């Protein structure tokens, strides 16, 4: 399988204690969904299946324990590596719903066929998701477009285009 078959769902940040626990950042929503998948770690371009035997949510971090990793020394090879899953293992979504990875890299145009730029990333503002669109202008600006029905006219995944009702103020 190629790299395109996988999606990053988290990252291993650091150790937690001396008994082989790791602190992670989950990119899933809700955070605990990361533990529903068959996780793999991208260790220097080699994927290694891991089995999470325990995990805990603490006030400011999430920690996990990997099978057969029992000391702080055992954890060192995992630090700063991505947690990935096969895209085919993601839950099936309804029409007009999209995973963020499907939107990144899409060209954003207005209903008047004006090119605004390309989706560089997304983030959530709490109430809705926001497209971060890197513009084609020489000013290297970013547009922040809320991913709402009022703003998004159409998403054409196969054509790599998102059509929006957005006034370009650049």
Domains plus CATH for the chain? 3-89 (2.40.30.60), 100-164 (2.30.30.240)
pLDDT of 15 > 70? The answer is: yes
Q: Tell me, what's the pLDDT at 1?
A: 59
pLDDT of 170 > 80? The answer is: no
In this structure, what token pair is assigned to residue 10? 């988290």
Percent of the residues in the chain that have a pLDDT greater than 70, as a whole number: 94
Nearest in space to 23 (alpha carbons), one of 78, 74, 67:
78
Q: Can you name the residues that pair with 11 across neighbouring β-strands?
A: 25, 82
Nearest in space to 146 (alpha carbons), one of 120, 160, 166:
166
Q: CA angle at residue 98 from 96 to 99, to 5 degrees? A: 170
Residues contacting residue 50 through CB under 8 Å, at least 6 positions apart: 39, 40, 41, 66, 67
pLDDT digits (tens, 9 = 90+) for 154-167: 999 999 999 999 87
- Nearest-10 Cα torsion for 40, 42, 132, 112: -80
């Amino acid at each position: 399988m190629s790299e395109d078959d996988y999606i990053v769902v988290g990252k291993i940040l650091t150790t937690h204690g001396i008994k082989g626990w790791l602190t992670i950042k989950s990119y899933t929503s809700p955070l605990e969904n990361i533990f529903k998948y068959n996780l793999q770690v991208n260790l220097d371009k080699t994927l290694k299946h891991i089995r999470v035997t325990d995990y805990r949510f603490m006030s400011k971090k999430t920690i996990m324990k990997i099978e057969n990793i029992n000391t702080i020394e055992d954890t060192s090879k995992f630090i700063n590596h991505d947690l990935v899953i096969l895209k085919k293992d993601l839950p099936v979504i309804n029409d007009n719903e999209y995973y963020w990875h499907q939107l990144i890299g899409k060209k954003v145009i207005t209903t008047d066929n004006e090119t605004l730029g390309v989706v560089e990333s997304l983030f959530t503002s709490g109430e809705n998701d926001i497209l971060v669109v890197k513009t084609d202008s020489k000013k290297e600006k970013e547009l922040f477009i809320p991913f709402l029905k009022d703003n998004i006219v159409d998403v054409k995944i196969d054509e790599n285009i998102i059509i929006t009702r957005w006034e370009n103020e650049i």
